[in-house]
Amino acid sequence: MNMHYELPLEEAGYSFGFLDEYAKKEVRRTILKAICIPGYQTPYASREMPMGRGFGTGGLQVTLALIGPDDTLKVIDQGSDDSVNAVNLRQFVQLTCPGVEVTEKQEEATLIQSRHRIPEVALTEAQVLVLQVPYPDPLVVVEPSEARRKIMHAEADYSRLLVKLYEDIVHFDEITISHRYPTRINRHYVIDPSPIPRWDVPKLDQSPALILLGAGREKKIYAVPPYTVAEPLVFDDVPFRVEDFRDARGERRACARCGATDSFLDEYCDDTNAKIYQCSDSAYCGGQLVLQQRETTA
Amino acid sequence: MSNKPTPVASHELWLPPMQQRIFCDLLHVFSYPGRVAECTAGSMTWLALLAALTDGEVALADPHGQIRADIWPRLEARSGMPETAPFIVADGGRAMDFQPCTGSLESPETGATLLLRVASLGEHSEGGVLLNLSGPGIQGNTELPVSGLHPSWLFARAGLVAAFPPGVDLLLCDERRFAALPRTTHIKTGDII
């Protein structure tokens, strides 16, 4: 074996976007079919990525199939630009997609890949949101056979899922699903909207931006097209409600950092073990602080 | 400054950067049915779209003989029958003379994508028809003027998409522009222009 052998340069490098062109075309064809059949879990040949399945490989494959040198990418994990998953995925895209700009500012981004949150600021038509999905099928809790689930989805038969929600009401007086809330798209397919909190579910409805959901391990891609009806699964007499951030006095809790009272809050413990609340969307929180500083100096 | 894309040499159609740009336009037109995109490749829109969509993994049907023999190897696609192929390119000016695959109830994604070449798209031209569109991707409703589309396509499509989720998805293109009509789009045929 020649110890000094080196791959020729053109073979040593990866193609733009890491995936080979055949893989990209397959993902692209799948994405288009997913848009044409809103909410349908379109199967595709999920590729091995240089990271474990479950770490956002589905979202990453969708992003890599879409991205071009003119794009500006924002990657967030649980609302934060700086958590490990977001930093790793962003660095991977920078490594394999030369020329692509990355940003933490939502208004600059053309492509946003996110884990478990939809950004606070409303998306625009110029943006595409890619969500990472661990478990794509909401029916898996009531039907173990995928073949039967596919028929149930095709016939829009969600009676067993509704029974599951009803059992929650019987036991706990309310539907206890905190995230991954089953949501009906275009009045047919019910999707698992990825583990976004209830707070984000209404943002799926009539969104100006295309929302793509990629599940790498489960080998599925599905979509919520723009300006499409997205309704959380509920009963007529038990309306859907989002997280309640009011304190014992009935006042809406504010972010401890920026003071916002209109954002989704994460709960922390401070040094004295007291509970504090802070915006989950770090870019939104930072933006509010900048606005306040401008107002102070003006 | 003109917004029209600069025509590119035809060999660029086969290169990944051009195919990525064309796919982004495809993503846009499928997301917002009825909106018309200018083809980044400048001309030969139908070929640019096929180059961005097909490879050796898919079958392509060409019932009206649109593709020259020397183009087939570059597309890499297998030649298929219009009744079974996932991609079909056809002359929209001729009457529909085949029954495309609509997929099954469990696997509606196997429904065909029909690429129809029409005389003009997105501009009012004599003898054309105004399509009134509504459905996912459209705020309220929108209009798409098309000319050179035989009425049999829209009539047949209405039947093929009636039992959603199975159905077919249409891509209309003229020499420079293209627009999509996914199976979820409701089409009302309006006035003859």
Which chain B positions have a beta carbon within 8 Å of A125's beta carbon? 32
Residue B190 confidence (pLDDT) = 76
SS3 content of chain A, % helix, strand, coil (to 5): 30, 20, 50
Model confidence at B112, pLDDT cuts 50, 70, 90, reads: very high
Q: What is chain A's length? A: 298
Residue type, A243: E
Residue B192 confidence (pLDDT) = 63
Within an 8 Å CB–CB cutoff, is residue A97 touching chain B?
no
Q: Map tokens 């990453």 to a residue.
A: A60
- At residue B19, φ and ψ (nearest 5 deg) are -65, -35
Separation of alpha carbons B12 and B27, rounded Å: 20
Separation of alpha carbons A70 and A101, rounded Å: 8
Q: A34: which residues sit within 8 A by CB, 6+ positions away?
A: A40, A42, A212, A221, A222, A223, B109
Query: Which positions of chain A have pLDDT values less than 70?
Result: 1-12
Q: Break chain A into its structural domains and give their ranges.
A: 12-232, 245-298
Strand partners, A267: A277
CA distance A2 to chain B (A): 34
Which chain A positions have a beta carbon within 8 Å of B139's beta carbon? 227
Pair of tokens at residue A292: 């306040």
Separation of alpha carbons B106 and B86, rounded Å: 16
Which chain A positions have a beta carbon within 8 Å of B107's beta carbon? 150
Residue A7 confidence (pLDDT) = 53
Mutate to test the interface with B, among A25, A127, A184 (most CBs of B within 10 A): A25
Strands A111-115 and A72-77: parallel
Q: Map tokens 């692209």 to a residue.
A: A28
Separation of alpha carbons A98 and A13, rounded Å: 12
The three-class DSSP label of residue A211 is: strand
ipTM value for the complex: 0.95
Residue A156 burial by CB count (10 A; 0-12/13-18/19+): exposed, middle or buried?
Answer: middle
Residue B2 confidence (pLDDT) = 42
Residue B10 confidence (pLDDT) = 74
**B182 to A22: CB separation less than 8 angstroms, yes or no:** no
C-beta separation of B29 from B178 below 8 A: yes
- A279 a catalytic residue: yes
Q: What domains are there in chain B, each with its CATH number?
A: 10-192 (3.40.50.11310)
Mean pLDDT of chain B: 92
- A258 a catalytic residue: yes
Strand partners, A130: A113, A212
Among the partner-chain residues B26, B54, B109, the one whose CB lies closest to the CB of A40 is B109
- A97 a catalytic residue: no
Q: What percent of chain B has pLDDT over 90?
A: 84
- A269 a catalytic residue: no
Give the pLDDT confidence of A87-96 residue by residue, as tens digits. 999 999 998 9
The crossing angle, in degrees rounded to 10, of helices A57-66 and A84-96 is 30
**B136 to A186: CB separation less than 8 angstroms, yes or no:** yes
Residue B1 confidence (pLDDT) = 39
Among the partner-chain residues A16, A26, A188, the one whose CB lies closest to the CB of B16 is A16
Q: Which of A17, A39, A56, A58 is catalytic?
A: A39
Task: Select A12-232's CATH number: 3.40.50.800, 3.40.50.11310, 3.40.50.300, 3.20.20.150.
Answer: 3.40.50.11310
Q: A221: which residues sit within 8 A by CB, 6+ positions away?
A: A27, A30, A31, A34, A41, A42, A44, A58, A62, A212, A213, A214, A215
The crossing angle, in degrees rounded to 10, of helices B16-31 and A21-36 is 10
Q: What is the pTM of this model?
A: 0.94
Give the pLDDT confidence of A206-237 residue by residue, as tens digits. 999 999 999 999 999 999 999 999 999 999 98
- A285 a catalytic residue: yes
